[in-house]
Amino acid sequence: MAELHNLYPEVPAETCTMCNDAGTQQCTTCNGTRYCSAQCQKDDWLTHKLLCKTLKEFEPSMRPDPSHTRAIYFPEDGDRPIFVWAQVLGRDAEGNPLLDGNVLQGNDRALRPSSSVKVNVVLQRRLHNTLKVSACPADHADTVPNQSLAKINKDLARTIRGPILVIGSEGLDDSHNQIDLNTTDFRHFIDYLQARDAMVKFVAETEGTHSSANAVPSVRINCLGDRILHPEHRDEYETTTIPASQLIAPTRFPAPIAERVGLPLIMRAIPAALTWRGRHIKMGDRHVQPRRNLTVESLNPLQGGVPGEQRIGSVIVARQDGKPLLFGHVQALGFYAQSLIMRYEEEVYTTRIDLHTFFEERPSREEFEQFFSMWRERYPDESVRDLISPYDL
């Protein structure tokens, strides 16, 4: 059976730390991290700066002796992660490092081998070396939330308990040769923690879908971040439910086109996953805001140029009347809205029609019913061709 990391592509060592483009630029302070652009470097800065200036204090020439390796330590009561010289005294039967705890103020007595990180699931690529992680058992009585992670993300500090030590092993085949870690390894490990957090929340969300009589069938519309940078690479549309009580509160995110065709919607924003919060997606030569949600934006074309960080992100959408909303209905509404936008762009040159006037006058229930019927007939998946009209529910 193939090792998991072999399922991911290998990239050159000079690849950007934040995306998979060539890392043509290098941090001039630590020389430990490469970027493809100023934008990727900016996205990484809040994390990178925590260790950047201290890397020069752990040059190989400063190594106490050959048994020491430059590791990354996350003290549970510290204000930030730090580099440390960790002494590896040997290996246990499974090849995990046995550590001298003096440098960790005795905390190694609570540390146990936890995981070996060989891939970056956010970037969908294998690493060049293995990150050996030692942490406290989840049920350890003396552990407290790890405060050194708060500077990176308070969500991580709330959910991860006890100290963490990360040591590097050469290659991906469980070599016993330790290597010094740098700021690039630091970024990969933070991506690992954030991906793990996203997966825990994904499982909880899946298991917590409401199935009671008061649950209303609804649809989750995922933004680019959840579709590209979430470890599950979520589909654009997902079937879910929403408690009927949430239909009462007014929506902060209008969908005027849906209202014009007689299908008023309620939208509820979903918190951003840690894997894409605060970073961009590299698409071609552009850096795209992961909060972009093309379906939601098309349903409200009058919104105009909203700054990227203020875009809505992923949402759960339901019908205001409490009737079931199926993903096919939302998908058809999105395509209909996009067709209206294309029509406006064609007509504005000949009729000079005002944007607001166009979207006040053009959308109609009759037109959408015709559009839905044609869209359903042409849909490549035959099961969708029997999809009931939203007006017949």
How many structural domains comprise the chain?
A: 2
Summarised one tens digit per residue, pLDDT across range 185-225 is 999 999 999 999 999 999 888 776 656 668 899 999 999 99
Q: Where is the domain boundary, 169, 185, 202?
A: 202
Tally Cβ neighbours within 10 Å of residue 143: 17
Same domain as 151, residue 224: no
Cα 97 off chain centre by = 31
Same domain as 178, residue 43: yes
Cα 149 from Cα 160, distance rounded (Å):
8
Same domain as 115, residue 68: yes
Same domain as 173, residue 214: no
Q: What domain range is 104 assigned to?
A: 4-202
Same domain as 100, residue 231: no
Same domain as 159, residue 284: no
Summarised one tens digit per residue, pLDDT across range 100-142 is 666 566 555 567 888 999 999 999 999 999 999 988 876 666 6
Q: Which residues of 81-108 are buried (b: 16+ CB within 10 A; e: fewer)?
A: bbbbbbbbeeeeeeebbebebebbeebb
Tokens 């105009």 belong to residue: 304
Q: Where is the domain boundary, 175, 202, 229?
A: 202
pLDDT per residue, tens digit, the chain (393 aa), is 457 788 899 999 999 999 999 999 999 999 999 999 999 999 999 999 999 999 999 999 999 999 899 999 999 889 999 999 998 877 776 667 777 666 566 555 567 888 999 999 999 999 999 999 988 876 666 678 899 999 899 999 888 888 999 999 999 987 778 999 999 999 999 999 999 999 999 988 877 665 666 889 999 999 999 999 999 999 999 999 998 888 887 777 889 999 999 999 999 999 999 999 999 999 988 999 999 999 999 999 877 655 555 678 999 999 999 999 999 999 999 999 999 999 888 887 777 778 888 888 899 999 999 999 999 999 888 888 889 999 999
The CA dihedral of 238, 241, 245, 247, to the nearest 10 degrees, is 40
Same domain as 164, residue 114: yes
Q: Where is the domain boundary, 202, 226, 258?
A: 202
H-helix or E-strand containing 375? helix 365-378
pTM (2 d.p.): 0.90
Cα 205 from Cα 73, distance rounded (Å):
31
Same domain as 162, residue 114: yes
Cα 18 from Cα 13, distance rounded (Å):
13
